[in-house]
Amino acid sequence: MADVAISVPVAPTPGVFRRLLKRKLAVFGLIVIALIVFAAVFAPWIVPYNPDEQFFEGLTLEGAPLAPNVQFWFGTDLVGRDLLSRIIYGARTSLIIGVIANGVSVLIGSAVGITAGYFKGWVSTVLMRFTDLMMAFPALLLAIVLAAIFRPSLLIVAMVIAMVNWVQIARVLYTETRSLAERDFVEAERALGAGTFRILTRHIFPHLVSTIVVYATLGIATTVLLEATLSYLGIGVQPPTASWGNIIFENQTYFTSAPWLVFIPGFAIILLALAFNLVGDALRDILDPTQQGHH
């Protein structure tokens, strides 16, 4: 019976959400995420104008962007497009890439980390040496190289980011899985003739759910920032597709005369990344068994 008690996993429960709502910063993060997701999903119905439409009245007589006004709430960009509409569509781009890229990186990292942690010998050695090799390269530099090799598109950018973001979660899950694999309840299952699949799915993976959830949440913030960086450098999402990073890239020459063209998308990037970080940090505190009862 003692072994059964030990094997009960610390996993997310319905009470986690209630505890999350007791944290003001986490609630702020959830509200920001909900608003941005709403704007991204319903973008075609809530944007005031087509994000790619160029307005003759959207430029001054000298051909400069318009400042925020009654018609264009966030002003216009250097070719007369409504900045508010492009910001809203840029949210859709950031979230699509964030969810796809982070989802793939979590799957890859989880598979590598759990496999390397459970199996010993050459399997563990090969997988973790490869992980160490990937960690040796700066993520941004590696992403730039991969993005330069492939023709940038929404899917390619997501896959490039996924290829450089899986190593952290793989390393963490490797350590946790290796520790779990040596626990008494796992040894007892092996003695009873349980197969590898049963042990991994019934006794090891449930213990790792909390870690995966936290890293999946925090990872979206990293993904959004990396996508914006690649788009700003011109090797991410390509115009005319709206992305917060390429909006800054396209309008940076007007930084001194039309600073809103840089500050507004920059603020959007920071706000979304901050929101996911706040929620992820709160989840880490709540789901970490060493923090139970301290909040």
Quick one: pLDDT at residue 13? 55
Average of per-residue pLDDT across 21-37: 91
Mean pLDDT of all residues in the chain?
83
Structure tokens at 100: 């796809």
Count the neighbouring beta carbons within 10 Å of the beta carbon of residue 70.
Answer: 5
Sequence letter at residue 20: L
Q: Within a domain: residue 49? A: no
pLDDT band at 146 (very low <50, low <70, confident <90, very high): confident
Alpha carbon distance 279, 261 (integer Å): 28
**Residue 252: is its pLDDT beyond 90?**
no
What counts of helices (H) and strands (E) characterise the chain? 14, 0
Residue 293 has pLDDT above 50, yes or no: no
More confident: 39 or 55: 39
What's the mean pLDDT in 98-114? Answer: 91
Residue 42 above 90 pLDDT?
yes
Per-residue pLDDT at 59: 76
Does pLDDT of 289 surpass 80? no
- Sorting pLDDT into bands at 50, 70 and 90, what band is 35? very high
Region 31-48 average pLDDT: 92
Measured in whole angstroms, the distance separating CA 148 from the mean position of its chain's CA atoms is 21
For position 10, what pLDDT does the model report?
Answer: 46
Query: What pLDDT score does 267 carry?
Result: 93
pLDDT over threshold 50, residue 191: yes
Task: Note the pLDDT of residue 238.
Answer: 80
Q: Summarize pLDDT for 61-98 with one digit per residue, the tens.
A: 677 788 888 888 998 888 888 999 999 999 998 888 88
HSE on the CB side for 256, CA within 13 Å? 1
Domain of 188 in residue numbering reads as 16-40+85-291
Q: Where residue 126 sits, what CATH number does that domain have? A: 1.10.3720.10
Coil, strand or helix: which one is 79? coil
- Name the H helices within the chain: 2-6, 14-20, 24-41, 43-46, 83-118, 122-136, 139-149, 154-165, 167-181, 184-191, 196-199, 205-232, 244-251, 260-287
Rounded to two decimals, the pTM is 0.83
242 inside domain: yes
Please name the amino acid found at residue 252.
Q
- CA 138-140-144 angle, to 5 degrees, is 120
Top-confidence range, 16-30, 97-111, 281-295 = 97-111
CA gap 181, 119 in Å, rounded:
9
Stretch among 6-10, 141-145, 222-226, 265-269 having the lowest mean pLDDT: 6-10
Q: Residue 108: pLDDT above 90?
A: yes
Asked whether residue 77 is domain-assigned, the answer is no
pLDDT in the model for residue 14? 59
Q: At what angle do helices 83-118 and 122-136 cross, to 10 degrees?
A: 150
Residues in the chain: 295
Is residue 3, in this structure, part of any structural domain at all?
no
Q: Using one digit for the tens of pLDDT, what is the confidence trace for 232-250?
A: 887 778 878 888 888 888 8
Provide the token pair at 266. 């920059």
Q: Which residues is 76 bridged to in the sheet?
A: 82
Per-residue pLDDT, 88: 93
Other CB atoms within a 10 A radius of the CB of residue 59 amount to 17
CA distance 120 to 124: 5
Total domain count for the chain? Answer: 1
The answer to whether residue 126 is domain-embedded is: yes
> pLDDT band at residue 2, thresholds of 50, 70 and 90?
very low
Give residue for tokens 């006004």: 69
